[in-house]
Amino acid sequence: MNDKPERDNQTPKQRGRVIVKKLREHFGSRLISGAEVGVLRAMLAEHLLLNLRTIRKYYMVDRWAPVKPDSSYIRSLDKVPTFFRTQEQADAVLRVAIDRTNRCAGKRIILKGGSVAMAKVVPDHSLHFVYIDAEHTYPAVCTDLKVWWPKIMPGGLLCGHDYDNPIGYQGLWGVKQAVDEFVAALDLQLELRGRIEWFVAKPRKTESTNVRTLP
């Protein structure tokens, strides 16, 4: 019996509806701030900004720059680097992202650069949620989890995409392994919506006495 998941066929709008529903359930009518790490053409950012009116600030984080041909990102067979073969192509994708979210320009903050460097720009404990959908290799996901977790306030959400994507079974992606290890290391609870979208709630201060520090 083959228990591998089927390929993720969700459109960005379908994925956006799942995330909007979860954010509404978790935060209610409160005004919230968030970040998306790995924006590409901003299809998800557009959906969240237009359909979740409680968002007051939204960081759009992406390199929008060419990927080195010998990088692990290329070897992972992710199709995203194919959009960034040249800086001209990357700039064109960035322009699409800007145009797509212009109706919400007052809420968005575009951070062009690597995940680690851009995380340093965002104050600790300032975000209600962070959505991670950047490079899917195991080392990259581990790094993203580590650097963005401190940015989330107690009671907030760390979430992302491609938790149980079939490519992970080829040994090329490491989202599931990285997320599972992160959750276990900090004694957290993992919630899945489908087999692709994952959510982890950061304990509130009154719940955090048993939470260990990430190494």
Q: For residue 125, give the CATH number of its domain.
A: 3.40.50.150
User: How does residue 80 score in pLDDT terms, banded at 50, 70 and 90?
Assistant: confident
Is the residue at 111 inside a domain? yes
In which domain, by residue range, is 90 found?
A: 12-207
Indicate the number of domains in the chain: 1
Rounded distance between C-alpha atoms, residue 76 and residue 55, angstroms: 33
* pLDDT for 50 beyond 90: yes
pLDDT tens digits along 90-137 = 999 999 999 999 999 999 999 999 999 999 999 999 999 999 999 999
Is the residue at 191 inside a domain? yes
Report yes or no: 126 and 153 within 8 Å, Cβ to Cβ: yes
Predicted model pTM: 0.89
Report yes or no: 198 and 179 within 8 Å, Cβ to Cβ: yes
The residue among 41, 46, 78 whose CA lies nearest residue 62 is 41
